[in-house]
Structure 1
Amino acid sequence: MKKKILIFLSLLAFFSLTLAGCGNDQKSVAQEANTADTWSSIKKRGRVIIGLDDTFVPMGFREKNGKLVGYDIDLAKAVFKQYGIKADFQPIDWNMKETELRNRTIDLIWNGYTITPAREKQLLFSRPYMANRQVLVTKTNENITSFAGMKGKTLGTQTSSSGASLLDEHPKMLKDYIKGKNPVLYDSFNNALMDLNDNRIQGLLIDSVYAGYYISKEKDPSSYRVTRGGFDGEDFAAGMRKGDKTLKRKIDAGLQELTNTGELQRINKKWFGNSDNSLIRPEKK
């Protein structure tokens, strides 16, 4: 019996030490993310790894041939080209984006990434480069002209998106109206839009830049209605670890230079036509 007790106590001590070690490792990873400036490492290897959701049209998505394209793809490449650095893009689970960044499997999140107070507590953001807002997309034949028109109807949105966060933060604006007071969550907006077209959901809370691009490519754009509702606008920016202050300065300066040369306006026109959502303006001389 004594032998069994000793074995049990030994195992208990082993697992306690193991768990303590794991806790220390996690603290070490978080501390490094908040203090380490990795610009010199990025510069030395000549490439920066950018995490993205590769279904987010038109910011970053795959064409039918598998090629990765999009507004943010062009923008990030143009910024880092100024420093002789190649931008590599790594598709990630959007629900795990901050964890991927903290664990240094990626260097940046750059994919229509919205600045929020909660995210600012964890991350460092570049200067904002594009204005966006969450809008409700419905089919015109549903005759839904306001958020209140979704009463008793099914709403979809993307998991861990800024839209999902806004629903929870301001439930009286839309969440309290919808069926079950909870949305259907999707891994990608592509799947959500297919369900909207098939009437499995009657509304979709989605980024205005995505909605505008998607609807403009449809055979009958008039079959969709976009309702702005009451959610505040939001800004897109690149997100990085808090320790990467040099990386932030380089991105900010690169964005400004693209504006000064007219390259940013060219990229805007390529993806959004004459509409200009850019928040960056040429510096006053």
Structure 2
Amino acid sequence: MKKTVSILLASLAAATLFTACGKKPEAPAAAAPAAAQAIVIGLDDNFPPMGFRDDKGELVGFDIDLAREAGKRIGVEVQFKPIDWSAKEAELSGKRVDVLWNGLTITEERKANILFTTPYLENHQIIVVTDKSPITSKAQLAGKVVGVQDGSSAVDAIQKDGDTAKAIKEIKKFGDNVTALMDLSAGRLDALVVDEVVGRYYTGKKPGEYRVLEDNFGTEDYGVGTRKDDTELMAKLQKAMDEMKADGTAATISTQWFGKDIVKK
């Protein structure tokens, strides 16, 4: 009996050993794919043709297309975040957005807190009035109510023209230019000072309703902005922008939105 049991135990041990030796080792678990890098771009989503929502509610625009192309070139996902444009520097410094890219004017004051690319577009602060308005020059804004978008460079442009600024009765600030134009049409404003690319986009859609004066509040440049210490990201964005200008991609995007190449080389 003992002999039989011993033989049985030996057989079981051999079988166990054979099974263990023949068993394939388990494949190591596949590593989880690394999360794609992303940058968050802050913008005013009511600023056509630079960045705005189309009839389907989707973000479109000249700056939107430029930013998406730049993202592809530097290998990052681009996410767009609509923000209160008057609080853009706080959004950037608070790291709620990584980049400001939406018709952002380069000014000496902003350079204190924002790192800019080289200019990619030249802009003017134009004066828009209704077609029936008697105003034909900047000097005739004296005693008038003039609208601007809050937080836009239009505010600074007017203030730099000291005599005109003092003569204006009131500078009325709006959250966006669409509302300001509605007030202009309704007679609650005498004029609107606005970025040329935006002003001409709107006025072109309603021929015979508005008029753009020959006078303006000066020339300025648009740039892309990051935090001052984000030098690595800035270098990548600048390289992508330079390449887009050199190979004609920026010109193609410009032509799609403006009918011609207006990109500053």
**Structure richer in helix, relative to its length:** 1
Give the Å deviation of 1:245. Answer: 1.1
Structure 2 residue aligned with 1:17: none
Correspondence 1:242 to 2:233: no
Find the partner of 1:266 among 239, 252, 255.
252
Find the partner of 1:46 among 26, 30, 37.
37
TM-score (norm 2): 0.83
Correspondence 1:175 to 2:176: no
Residue type of the partner of 1:208?
E
Correspondence 1:129 to 2:142: no
SS in 1 for 2:218: coil
Which is worse superposed, 45-54 or 109-118? 45-54
Structure 1 residue aligned with 2:21: none
> Within 2, Cα distance between the matches of 1:152 and 1:73?
39
Superposed, which structure 2 residues align to 1:90-101 within 5 Å?
90-101=81-92
TM-score (norm 1): 0.78
Structure 1 residue aligned with 2:189: 201
Structure 2 residue aligned with 1:278: 263
SS in 2 for 1:76: helix
Q: Tell me, which stretches of 5 or more residues in structure 1 are unaligned? A: 1-42, 281-285
**Structure richer in strand, relative to its length:** 2
Residue type of the partner of 1:212?
R
> Within 2, Cα distance between the matches of 1:230 and 1:213?
17
Q: Tell me, which stretches of 5 or more residues in structure 2 are unaligned? A: 1-33
Correspondence 1:85 to 2:76: yes
> Within 1, Cα distance between the matches of 2:55 and 2:231?
37
Residue type of the partner of 2:94?
N
Give the Å deviation of 1:229. Answer: 2.5
Residue type of the partner of 2:225?
G
Structure 1 residue aligned with 2:101: 110
User: For the Cα contact (< 8 Å) 1:134–1:228, is it kept in 2?
Assistant: no
> Within 2, Cα distance between the matches of 1:228 and 1:97?
31
SS in 2 for 1:212: helix
Residue type of the partner of 2:146?
L
> Within 1, Cα distance between the matches of 2:194 and 2:109?
20
> Within 1, Cα distance between the matches of 2:218 and 2:135?
20
Per-residue deviation, residues 48-82 of structure 1 (Å, max 9, x unmatched): 10000111111111112211111100000011111
Per-residue deviation, residues 120-156 of structure 1 (Å, max 9, x unmatched): 1111001110000101000121121111122222110
Structure 1 residue aligned with 2:7: none
In angstroms, what is the RMSD of aligned CA positions? 1.5
User: For the Cα contact (< 8 Å) 1:82–1:254, is it kept in 2?
Assistant: yes
Identity of aligned residues (%): 39
Q: 1:120 to 1:150 in 2, by over 3 A?
A: same
Structure 1 residue aligned with 2:198: 210
User: For the Cα contact (< 8 Å) 1:215–1:224, is it kept in 2?
Assistant: yes
Superposed, which structure 2 residues align to 1:158-173 within 5 Å?
158-172=149-163
